[in-house]
Amino acid sequence: MAYTVFARKYRPLSFDDVVGQDAIAKTLKNAIKTDRVAHAYLFAGTRGIGKTTMARILAKALNCLATDGPTTEPCCKCDSCIAINLGEDIDVIEIDGASNNSVEEVRRLRENAIYRPARSRYKIYIIDEVHMLSTSAFNALLKILEEPPSHVKFIFATTEPNKVIATVQSRCQRFDFNNISAGLITEQLKQILELEKIEYEQDLLLPLAKMANGSMRDGLSLLDRLISTGAEPLATELLEEFLGCANSAKIHQLAEKIAESDAAGSLIAIDDLITSGVTELQIVDSFVDYMRDLMVVKSAGMQSELLLLSNQQRQQAEQLAQKFDIAALVYNITAIERLRWTIKNSEAPRTLLEASVLRFALSEHFMNVDTLLSQLKTDAPAALKKNIIETKTRSVNSSKLDFSDKNIKDAGRSLEHRTPSKKKNELINDPTVKMVLTEFNARIAAVEEGRSD
C-alpha cells in the first residue's frame, strides 16, 4: 500500500478535530442545528490552516447518509462521507480555481447545477483558490451565486480574499481563518509521534512548530521530512542539518557575544552558523525571534505566556536579558528586520550581516544622551556636564548633539586650563566622551573661524 503523508493521514474528519479554528467550527455547527446554513461561504486565510478541510467537513455534515438530515457530527463511515474524504463524491464537486478559471468553465458549472444531486441532499461546489478566476468568470457566477437552486451550496476557499471581487464577497458568508499558534502545532505533532510510536527529543517539537509559521500542513510536512532521514530518536540537530534551522544554542551564543561587546566573538559565532549550513537570511530570522524573546523576558518576566521556550531556555534568556536594556533590544530588532530585505537582494549578504552584528556589539560607542549622562563621573568637568544637560533639555536628536557655540568654547577652554589628573585622563579616554569632545572641537573651530553650521 502506498505511503500516505501525515497531512493527509491525520486530516481532521469532524468539526471538533479542526485545530485552531474553534470559533468558525462553532458557528457552522450552530448554523446546522438551527437550519440556517447559507447558500454560499467564503473561507479566507493563509495556506495549510484548514480551509479546504473545513469545507469537506461541512459537506459531510450536510450530506451524511447515516442521518435523516444535516448533522453536526457526520459518521465518516457512510458512502457519502468516505467519498467526500477522498474527494471523489459525485455530488460534492471540488474545483481548482487556478486551472478552471475561464468563463466557459463557469458556464458549464451553471448548466450542471440545475440538476439535482444523484444520492445526497445537496450538490456542493468547493472552489479552491477562487481568487484565480478571471473577471469574466466571476461575473458569470454572480447570478447563480445570488439565487442558486435550493439543492446547491457553494464553498469558496482563497488565500488572497482581496482579489475576490466585492460583488461575489457580498453574496457569501465570509470566515477568516486564523494562523495556528506554535503551541497548538506542537501538541498536534506530539500526538502524531506518539501514535506513530516514534521516539523524539522533547526540545525538537517547539522549534519545528515555529518553522511552520502558523500552518499545520507545513508543520506536518516538516515532520515527514525529519522522519524520512531515518534518524531515531529524532534530535534537534536534525533541524539544523536537514531543515536549515539555526541552532538555538548558537543563536544564544551570538546574542551573548553581542551583550559582552565581543566583536571578534560575534564574528566567530556568525561563521559557526554559516559553516553549519544556515543561510544569512535564516540567521536573521532566528536572531530576530531570539531578540524578541529577550525583549519579552525583560518586559514581562521569564514566566510570561508570550514565551514559547523550554524551562532551560527561559532561564538562559532571563540571565542574558539582564545584559541588555529595552532600548537596545528594540533597536536591534528593528535594525535587523530592515536588514532582511537588503540581504535578500544583496550579492554580499554575509558582509552586511557581519557589519550589522558588529554595530550591535559596539553599541556602547553610540550611546544616547541618557546613557551618556549616567556614565559621566562625579568629577567630570562641570562645564562639560552643564553643556550636555542644556543640550538634552532642547530635545535634540540623540544621534547629533546641538551644543551652543558659547558653551562649547567655554567648556573647551576650561578643559585646556585644568591640571591633568589620572581621573581626568580616564574620562577623556572614554570612547563615549571622545565622541562628545570631537563634536566640541569641531564646533570650537567653527566659532573661532567665524563660521556657523
Question: pLDDT-derived band of residue 381, with 50, 70 and 90 as boundaries?
Answer: low
Has residue 288 got a pLDDT over 50? Answer: yes
Dihedral, CA of residue 299, residue 300, residue 305 and residue 306, to nearest 10:
-10
Q: Quick one: pLDDT at residue 415? A: 46
% of the chain beyond a pLDDT of 70: 80
Q: Which of 424, 353, 347, 352 is nearest to 384 (CA)?
A: 424
Has residue 99 got a pLDDT over 90? Answer: no
Average pLDDT of the segment spanning 364-384: 53
Has residue 144 got a pLDDT over 50? Answer: yes
Is the model more confident about 114 or about 450?
Answer: 114
As given in the structure block, the three cell numbers for residue 250 are: 548558537
CB 10 within 8 A of CB 19: no
Has residue 139 got a pLDDT over 80? Answer: yes
**pTM strictly above 0.85:** no
Q: Quick one: pLDDT at residue 229? A: 86
What DSSP letter does each residue of 305-370 carry, written as one string? TT----HHHHHHHHHHHTTS-HHHHHHHHHHHHHHHHHHHH-S-HHHHHHHHHHHHHTGGGG--HH
Pair type for strands 173-176 and 123-128: unpaired
Pair type for strands 40-44 and 92-96: unpaired
Average pLDDT, the chain: 82
Q: How far apart are CA 447 and CA 193, in angstroms?
A: 74
Q: How far apart are CA 218 and CA 216, in angstroms?
A: 5
Q: Quick one: pLDDT at residue 180? A: 93
State pLDDT tens for residues 182-230.
Answer: 889 999 999 999 999 999 988 888 888 988 889 999 999 999 999 988 8
For residue 242, CA distances in Å to 81, 192, 223, 246 come to: 38, 20, 11, 11
Q: Quick one: pLDDT at residue 17? A: 93
Is the model more confident about 94 or about 436?
Answer: 94
Specify the range with the lowest mean pLDDT, choosing from 69-73, 140-144, 165-169, 307-311: 307-311
Has residue 374 got a pLDDT over 80? Answer: no
Residues 6+ apart with CB under 8 A from 360: 258, 266, 328, 332, 335
Question: pLDDT-derived band of residue 395, with 50, 70 and 90 as boundaries?
Answer: very low
Has residue 126 got a pLDDT over 60? Answer: yes
- The gap from C-alpha 450 to its chain's centroid, in whole angstroms, comes to 55
Partners of 175 in beta bridges:
43
Has residue 37 got a pLDDT over 70? Answer: yes
Q: Quick one: pLDDT at residue 433? A: 58
Question: pLDDT-derived band of residue 2, with 50, 70 and 90 as boundaries?
Answer: confident
Q: How far apart are CA 262 and CA 414, in angstroms?
A: 36
Count other Cβ atoms within 10 Å, centred on residue 221.
Answer: 15
* ∠ CA 409-415-418, rounded to 5°: 140
Has residue 382 got a pLDDT over 70? Answer: no
Q: How far apart are CA 442 and CA 290, in angstroms?
A: 40
Q: Quick one: pLDDT at residue 419? A: 47
Residues 6+ apart with CB under 8 A from 367: 375, 432
Strands (E), 258-321: none
What amino acid is encoded at 314 in this protein?
R
Average pLDDT of the segment spanning 351-377: 70
CA pseudo-torsion sign 363, 369, 372, 374: negative
Has residue 138 got a pLDDT over 80? Answer: yes
In order of their start, the domains of the chain are 6-176 (3.40.50.300), 182-242 (1.10.8.60), 248-365 (1.20.272.10), 369-448 (no CATH)
Has residue 7 got a pLDDT over 80? Answer: yes
Average pLDDT of the segment spanning 92-111: 89
